[in-house]
A = this chain, B = another copy of it.
Amino acid sequence: MAMDRGIHPRNGSGDSDGATRDQDIVTGDVCNLEIIPQLARLPAETLDAMKSMCAIRRFRAGQILLDAGDQPEFFGIVRSGILRLQKTMLDGRQQIVGLMVEGDMFGKVFDGPQQFAVEAATDVEIFTLLRKPFEDLLLRSPELDQVVLVNIMNELDRARDWMIIVANPRVKGRLAGFILFCCTRFASVHDVLQQGAGSAVDVRIPIGRSDLANSLGTRPETISRALHALADDGSIVIKRPDLIEICDFAALGSEAGEEELPTHGSFKELVRSLAWRAA
């Protein structure tokens, strides 16, 4: 398992049937935590303390980092790659409740068990911090505590934004919302946004149809149909199964049932400003 698709690495499998555990590789690499912008602003002594309890661990696509019900032994910060948070239902349905990218934090501190399984959607590198010393440091460093607090509050907002996407009554609208979500949420992730022809933007969907269906509360067939329906509308062009060119941001926004108060200004402007930064 864990079959990468050449230039388009993907998750191990839509149904994660071959998922394995804890076959990670602990490296002796330096933990250059300062590559995470939020952490770079921490006082040097706090950062040093974190580095001293930190290890980089690598997992392959499909591996399970944490299982639901675990009392996680480490707090994690994504260094590269994409993780998916999910829960498996008794009927076999797998619901994805979040995707985590570079700079995102996961794991529990001071409190109960992990409620959701954390799996590698692609090959990933994780900064891992042992739980107990990290908790102690949190109590000693208000600055770190603040960073973690802000991070989790943002995560909460994003979870709710995602909820709005998932609650859209039409799958077509959910998909439109997800594509736009990718543009903002994953703008900083390598290889997700690319300059298309002219004013167009290319989005690489980092997960397969199966995961997409599990994320949006529907089935792969319906995803496929809805995607081609968007293409028929002229809102997008499907260049490859996993590569979408956005032609009409307004149409996607309208399908997604855009929220009031466009605090962000024009979506398209935002995306374009972000897109070329990574390039």
Q: Taking beta carbons and an 8 Å cutoff, which residues of A are in contact with B?
A: 68-69, 85, 87-91, 93, 95, 97-98, 108-111, 113, 115-116, 138-140, 142, 145-146, 148-150, 152-157, 159-164, 166-169, 216-218, 254, 257-261, 263
Complex alpha-carbon distance, A140 and B95, angstroms? 40
For the A-B complex with A95-B167, A111-B154, A166-B167 known, give 8 more contacts whose Cβ atoms are closer than 8 Å. A69-B263, A88-B259, A88-B260, A109-B149, A109-B150, A163-B166, A168-B217, A169-B217
In the complex, the answer to whether A108 meets B166 with C-beta atoms within 8 Å is: no
B145 & A149 in contact (Cβ 8 Å cutoff): yes
- In the complex where A95-B167, A148-B149 touch, is A261 in contact with B116 (Cβ < 8 A)? no
A-B contact pairs, 28 of them (CB 8 A): A68-B259, A68-B260, A87-B160, A87-B164, A87-B260, A88-B260, A89-B260, A90-B254, A90-B260, A91-B257, A95-B167, A109-B149, A109-B150, A110-B146, A110-B149, A111-B154, A113-B263, A115-B157, A115-B161, A138-B142, A139-B142, A142-B142, A142-B145, A145-B149, A166-B217, A167-B216, A167-B217, A169-B218
Establish whether residues A160 and B89, one from each chain, have CB atoms under 8 Å apart when the complex forms: no
Which residues on the B side are within 8 Å of A90 (C-beta)? 254, 257-260
Q: A142-B142, A258-B90 are in contact. Are A156 and B156 (CB under 8 A)?
A: yes
Least CB distance, A268 to chain B, in whole angstroms: 16
- One complex includes copies of this chain to the number of 2
